[in-house]
Amino acid sequence: TGLCVSLKRHVSSSPSGLQSCMSAWVLDQYGTNEVLRFTEDHPVPVINSASEVMIKVHAASLNPLDLSMRGGYGAKMLKLRRDPMSVMNDGSEFPLVLGRDVSGVVVDCGSEVTHFAPGDEVWAAVPPWKQGSLAEFVTLTEYEVSLKPKILSHTEAASIPYVANTALSALVNAGGLCRDSSSNKRVLIAGGSGGVGTFSIQLLKAWGAHVTVTCSQNAEGLVRGLGADEVVDYTAEDAAEQLEMMEKFDVILDNVGGETEEWATHLLKTWSGAKYVTLVSPLLLSTDSMGLLDGTVHAGFTLHNKAIQNIVSGGVFYRWGFFAPDGPALDEVSKLVDAGKILPVVEAQFPFTQVPQAFQKLEEGHARGKTVVRVA
């Protein structure tokens, strides 16, 4: 294509002499699985700033966000973040590449990159406002990238970054926990068997917390194997009573949302700084349906009202948790992986030719860890 030819001129002057076009799975519009299109002519994401790192993708993984974004979720907010000038321009984000995790090898670095060099094996979570990892190459800023744990294969490594950055952001920034303050804390993870849950159990156990998990009965073995101290089958008739009988919690991480929020906040210790953190907030749904300004204001009011209500009724903090890209945080996770304290939980693997099948798997729900795509 013309675009690829012009990029070829740019790229061929780079020291690595990279190709100008690459294979990728792209969207040209939002929709169901049929909108996923394989191409060998997608422009390579060249380095545009001195702090960027270009990575050859060896493996990627899928997250529920990929499914939602395939259908247009968050489009308005993400477009604003990508390019504020194009927010009114319909379709400017296409062709869009999904995929939020990468494990791969650095092939090129901007002039101010200090921590990485071509040949380094790295892992990273790709922010949703950037072109994703279901492609041969992805370009990120140095701050988003980290050296991959040596003991993991690329396939294993790709299962961790996005859920790790999400869990750390939620538990540390919103939940107020950290490595040195968790040993006397009781934490409840609602939805322990999926990507975020299986990572969070291991992280919190590595930090010494007491971890209770809700999940389906057939996931009990998995979450106990990862270290969960107590497990409640949320489908059991007496699940609510089981949870009510337990000692109250310091922090709840809610990976489920919906009705969970109604009963979970009552399980927190009152008037002692306990925090409820949900990853399922209505922010992007609001901006999609009401527009950027009205949606943000509406979500802000919702958060404010819930926060006030929870403080007044029991002295507990109500918070929304969000993914945040953070390479240095992945450096810390890497140490825990190398120490054998965090294991990758890969439920399914697909070759690059079968990305639609990988989406299909995700769409079926009931994740037990992560679905990974082998790209190279």
Residues that bind ligand NDP (CB under 6 A): 63-65, 163, 166, 190-191, 193-197, 214-216, 234, 255-256, 279-281, 321-323, 365-367
Closest among 239, 269, 270, 238 to 256, alpha carbons compared: 239
Comparing CB distances to ligand NDP, the nearer of 63 and 182 is: 63
Answer whether 170's CB lies under 8 Å from 322's CB.
yes
Minimum CB separation of residue 283 from ligand NDP in Å reads 8
Comparing CB distances to ligand NDP, the nearer of 74 and 176 is: 74
Comparing CB distances to ligand NDP, the nearer of 280 and 290 is: 280
Minimum CB separation of residue 279 from ligand NDP in Å reads 4
Minimum CB separation of residue 13 from ligand NDP in Å reads 38
Rounded-to-integer distance, Cα 34 and Cα 132, Å? 18
* Residue linked to tokens 């029991």: 314
Rounded (10°) angle between helices 161-168 and 327-338: 110
Going from the C-alpha of 99 to that of each of 13, 25, 144, 337, the distances in angstroms are 28, 9, 15, 22
Minimum CB separation of residue 168 from ligand NDP in Å reads 11
Rounded-to-integer distance, Cα 252 and Cα 269, Å? 10
- Tell me which amino acid residue 10 is: H
Minimum CB separation of residue 18 from ligand NDP in Å reads 31
Cβ-closest position to ligand NDP? 194
Minimum CB separation of residue 80 from ligand NDP in Å reads 16
Minimum CB separation of residue 234 from ligand NDP in Å reads 4
The tokens describing 90, both together, are: 């319909």
Rounded-to-integer distance, Cα 307 and Cα 295, Å? 18
Comparing CB distances to ligand NDP, the nearer of 65 and 87 is: 65
Going from the C-alpha of 278 to that of each of 152, 309, 321, the distances in angstroms are 30, 16, 6
Comparing CB distances to ligand NDP, the nearer of 212 and 214 is: 214
Q: Are strands 230-233 and 210-215 parallel, antiparallel or unpaired?
A: parallel
Comparing CB distances to ligand NDP, the nearer of 35 and 65 is: 65
Comparing CB distances to ligand NDP, the nearer of 51 and 216 is: 216
Q: Around Cβ 288, how many Cβ atoms within 10 Å?
A: 18
